[in-house]
Amino acid sequence: MSLQLGETAPDFTLDSTEGTIRLHDYIGDQWLVFFSHPKDFTPVCTTELGAFARRKAEFDKRSTKLLGLSVDSVSDHNAWIKDVEDVGGTAVNYPIVADPNLEVAKLYGMFHPKADPKVTVRSVFIIDPQKKVRLTLTYPPSAGRNVDEIVRVLDSLQLTDGRKLTTPVDWRPGDDVIIAPSVSDADAQKLFPEGWRTLKPYLRLLRYSATQH
């Protein structure tokens, strides 16, 4: 069964390309993007690992760590990394954990035996500093992930976290955000004295950045 939003991400300890990792210790007080791969030496995953590595500075800027997972061994991961670096044009600068017994794959719902009885699906989890699952995505074997979308949702989560805000369709940083419907106009006036645009009684748009408050 897959994890649901708001659940505590199950802790685990596994070997990785950067030594033994205990998940909750690895997250610390930061955010985490945790993503699984069906198998080492697969073409789509090779492109994905390189893309995350090239963009690691963007995640660092957002106080977010990266962690990959595949069912093969650490020695296989280390051999595969050479291909990833050759294709991606940069060093793999985050750990990849080994899950040969599918222990974590099953714990996190990354294993879908009806899709493939031997390997994991491509899953993505965004986990916050309180170790809560804030996003889950599952991709089919044929479609590579979109790193831009993962960064976009991470920005949305971090901007709205603990605030009475949500973000609309196709939102990007700098765009208007939505005041949550649970907030009355009277309370919104206290929270957002700069005002807002009302499109519908339940749809109030606001220009907002995290540096404002």
* Residues 138, 167 share a domain: no
Residue with structure tokens 């993505």?
Answer: 124
Token couple for 155? 């920005």
In a domain, 36, yes or no: yes
Between CA 133 and CA 93 the distance in angstroms is 23
In a domain, 2, yes or no: no
Domain end call among 117, 145, 173: 145
In a domain, 110, yes or no: yes
53, pLDDT greater than 50: yes
pTM: 0.91
Residues of the domain holding 171? 162-212
CATH number at residue 23: 3.40.30.10
136-175 tens-digit pLDDT: 998 887 889 999 999 999 999 999 999 999 999 999 999 9
As a whole number of angstroms, the longest Cα–Cα distance in the chain is 60
131, pLDDT greater than 60: yes
Token couple for 183? 């907030």
Between CA 36 and CA 30 the distance in angstroms is 19
* Residues 136, 39 share a domain: yes
Between CA 145 and CA 23 the distance in angstroms is 23
In a domain, 191, yes or no: yes
* Residues 171, 107 share a domain: no
pLDDT, average across residues 49-60: 96
Which parts of 41-174 fold into alpha helices (H)?
A: 43-54, 56-61, 74-88, 103-107, 147-160
- Which of 45, 44, 91, 89 has its CA nearest to residue 70? 45
In a domain, 77, yes or no: yes
179-202 tens-digit pLDDT: 999 999 999 999 999 999 999 999
Domain count, the chain: 2
Q: What is the DSSP code (8-state) at residue 210?
A: G
* Residues 42, 98 share a domain: yes
Active-site hit among 23, 27, 32, 45: 45
- Which of 3, 90, 95 has its CA nearest to residue 55? 90
* DSSP-derived secondary structure for 168-196: -TT--TTSEEEE-TTS-HHHHHHH-TT--
211, pLDDT greater than 60: no
* Residues 82, 115 share a domain: yes
Judge whether 45 counts as a catalytic residue: yes
User: How many CB atoms are closer than 10 A to CB 154?
Assistant: 19
115-129 tens-digit pLDDT: 565 556 689 999 999
